[in-house]
Chains A and B, each alone.
Chain A
Amino acid sequence: MSVLVYIENVQGKFKKSTFEVISFAAAIAQKQNLPLVALSIGDVSDEELGKAGKYGVTKVLKAVGDSLKEMNVQPYASVIAQAAKAENAKVIVLSASFSGKGIAPRVAIKLDAGLADNVIDLPVMDGPFIVKKGAFSGKAFAFVEISSDVKVISMIPNSYKVVESPGSAAITIFETQIEAKDLTVTVKETKRSTDKVSLPDAELVVSAGRGMKGPENWGMIEELANTLGAATACSKPVSDAGWRPHSEHVGQTGIAISPNLYIAIGISGAIQHLAGVSSSKVIVVVNKDPEAPFFKAADYGIVGDAFEIVPRLVEAAKAFKSSQNG
């Protein structure tokens, strides 16, 4: 028996969220007294794979093949299910990333396992296996018991800390069988903006709303984000108006995020917006209206005109960064 963690790579590299899921899975494995096995799919160097050993993995399975070069939900789900069977995995852990969310439900069906998605804390495992997950669009949490023998859980990025534990992992090739029926979807094109921090797993996010008046004023928002190493986000009306891409829209009908720091500029704080950002650890609000509802949900507030405040923040952020580096 084992705990299996799927270690997702982006272009051959592991992200911080990958080490979060490994640390999370390691804590489950330790509690259950089971070995932790990691599965990597696609082209990842042995040097990169070896990193998994620093977080509690004892064995890394490496699945490679022509049909596994690009992330493709169906073959990937099949490989994970095959590995889970080969390792007799009782708990399978994935990241609730875009690809993880597409894969986890399929793995659960293949293994006849119960699925808990969007998990935000370590399961309670004395007695029934109970996980804590987000529900009602950030307005509540649900405690869900998984009663099946095999369990699949997907963990929200940024909800568990990376914990190192001494050790090293042996890397072995995992032989897979990919059936033609898993390969009917073809990826024709992938576009990644490599210079930008990806929003769902960003630790710092600078977000702006209709208070910015127009797309031409986003230069200072991007400058602030770049200085801090933050991702950019926006409110719904901003992406609806085409000022910013839909992929930046956060909230109930956009992406739900839980960064360490969320800076909201010129956003009123409507309930639908808060739904997607209220689990941020610290919230800073800049708004010229002292009555803006967002101040009630904020840790720090600056009442003032964004066009005066943001340049001041950019300057301060630059000074802060150079003092940190120097």
Chain B
Amino acid sequence: MKILVCIANVPDTTAKINFTPDNKEFVSTGVTFILNPYDEIALSKAVDLTTGGGTVTVINIGDASTEPTIRKALAIGATDAVRVNSKPRDGYFVARQIAEYVKTNPFDLILCGRESSDSNGSSVPAMLAELLGIPCVLFAKRLTIEGTTATLEQEIEGGKEILSSPLPLVAGASEGMAEWKIPNMRGIMSARTKPLVVIEPIEVPQHTTVKSYDKPIPRSSVKLIAAEDAGKLFDMLRDEKKVI
């Protein structure tokens, strides 16, 4: 089985997010970048699915600064990697680049994360699937493959559903699909020599542009309620905040 895992390079989950004084750009100096946590679940699943045979290719749309993240993916167990040499402009741009690659390099299964922790769009997987004319199960918590059929469990409003889909398909990994894998020494050593191909992006129309950023207004300081007065909470929530 040939699996493609789409990986995003995102700020570390503990990173403080700051913007330039004009609020137009994210300041990345001093920020550690990591493999998007959901993509790490997707990659772990792909490695599990190919233990009996098969390959796992990872693809990233990013400039050269994303290579440490790509190497980490190779250390976790990917077979080879592709980097499309461009900053990711928006979800549509990313999906088009991946679709272009997949048209000449077909896969049995494409795994993504359910969302990236910087853009939070959850838009790449479904756009990619639409461009390729295949199904996408975006919030997949479980995935099993038998022959050319995948069975998936997906989160829905107020519950879950079990789906059956033919391959190829795009699945967005959610918590629970696989255990996070920690690269071992052998993985880290071999990652240095695994193939990483760099290709140039195709031209894509731009429909959306980030104009500026903003940060939430910090909360005013906390109002402490003494433990013995805990019962007064609901009256306060009603009278002061009108939320209940």
- Chain A residues close to B by CB (< 8 Å): 10, 15, 71, 73-74, 77, 97-99, 101-106, 108-110, 113-118, 128, 130, 132, 134-148, 181, 184-194, 196, 198, 200-201, 203-204, 228, 239, 246-247, 249, 252-254, 256, 260-261, 271-272, 275, 278-279, 281-286, 295-304, 308-309, 312-313, 315-317, 319-320
Contact = CB atoms under 8 A, between A and B. Distances in A.
Interface residues of B, number: 81
Interface of B: 11, 13-14, 17, 19, 26, 37-38, 91-92, 95, 117-127, 129-131, 133, 135-139, 141, 151, 154-166, 169, 174-176, 206-216, 219-220, 222-227, 230-238, 241, 243-244
B208 A114 contact: yes
Nearest to A10: B157
Given A282-B243, A302-B224, A136 B117 contact: yes
A143 B156 contact: no
Nearest to A231: B158
A228 B13 contact: no
A143 B127 contact: no
10 contacts: A10-B157, A106-B130, A136-B120, A139-B216, A144-B210, A187-B163, A260-B244, A275-B117, A278-B216, A284-B237
A299 B175 contact: no
A147 B206 CA distance: 8
Contacts of A143: 210-214
Contacts of A188: 151, 161-164
Given A140-B214, A188-B164, A246-B174, A108 B92 contact: yes
Contact of B208 (A116, A185, A312, A317): A116
A117 B121 contact: yes
B161 A187 contact: yes
B230 A114 contact: no
Give 4 nearest A-B pairs by CB, closest first. A114-B207, A316-B231, A192-B159, A304-B227
A191 B161 contact: yes
Given A143-B214, A254-B175, A137 B161 contact: no
A267 B115 CA distance: 24
A184 B170 CA distance: 13
A106 B92 contact: no
Interface core residue of B19, B121, B157 (most chain A CB under 10 Å): B157
B227 A308 contact: yes
Contacts of B123: 104-105, 108, 115, 117
B130 A105 contact: yes
A14 B112 CA distance: 31
Given A103-B126, A181-B133, A252-B13, 5 more contacts: A73-B138, A142-B212, A187-B161, A190-B159, A192-B159
Contacts of A297: 219
A97 B157 contact: yes
A190 B130 contact: no
Contact of A135 (B13, B119, B129, B219): B119
A192 B14 CA distance: 34
Nearest to B13: A272
Given A117-B121, A200-B157, A313-B233, A141 B165 contact: no
Contacts of B176: 246
